[in-house]
Amino acid sequence: MKQILVLILLLISILVIFSCSKRLPSKAKLISAEDMQSLLKQDSVLLIDVRTPKEFNAGHIKNALNINFFAPTFTEDIKAIDKEKPVILYCRSGKRSAKSAKKFIEAGFTDLYNLDGGIIKWKLEGFNIEK
């Protein structure tokens, strides 16, 4: 009986320890263009376009910061960003930004979003871009 009680207490202790530990997200939250509009109204949100500078200069979402996913300095560039702020990533279709999200998570970002369908879907839904 005493052994069962010790085992139960040990299991409860393990559950408490693991439930209290901070878990990193395994991936970015997928966000629609409409939901992104609402999120961008917050001052602290960072919008990051991970396309090439050529793609970015051809047209981008207002107030976006360009950090080229293909640049050799990409990993270092994202380390300079405030990890405490929510970050929205986007690219052309959503694939590069999903790959970028993995690097952001590895760098310690926890409040991370990926624009569903990228800038293609953004434009198809009638939202503006800047050149």
Question: Residue 64: its pLDDT value, please?
Answer: 96
Catalytic residue among 48, 61, 78, 91: 91
Tell me if residue 91 is catalytic: yes
Residues with Cβ < 8 Å from 64, sequence gap 6 or more? 47, 48, 49, 56, 90
Q: What is the mean pLDDT of residues 61-84?
A: 95
Residue extents of the structural domains in the chain: 24-124
Higher per-residue pLDDT: 66 or 24: 66
Beta bridge partners of 66: 49
What's the CATH class of domain 24-124? alpha beta
The rounded distance, in Å, linking the Cα atoms of 90 and 48 is: 6
Structure tokens at 116: 């569903």
pLDDT tier for residue 42 given thresholds of 50, 70 and 90 = confident
Neighbours of 29 (CB within 10 A): 14
Q: How much is the pLDDT for 26?
A: 60
Q: Band of the pLDDT at 92, cuts 50, 70, 90? A: very high
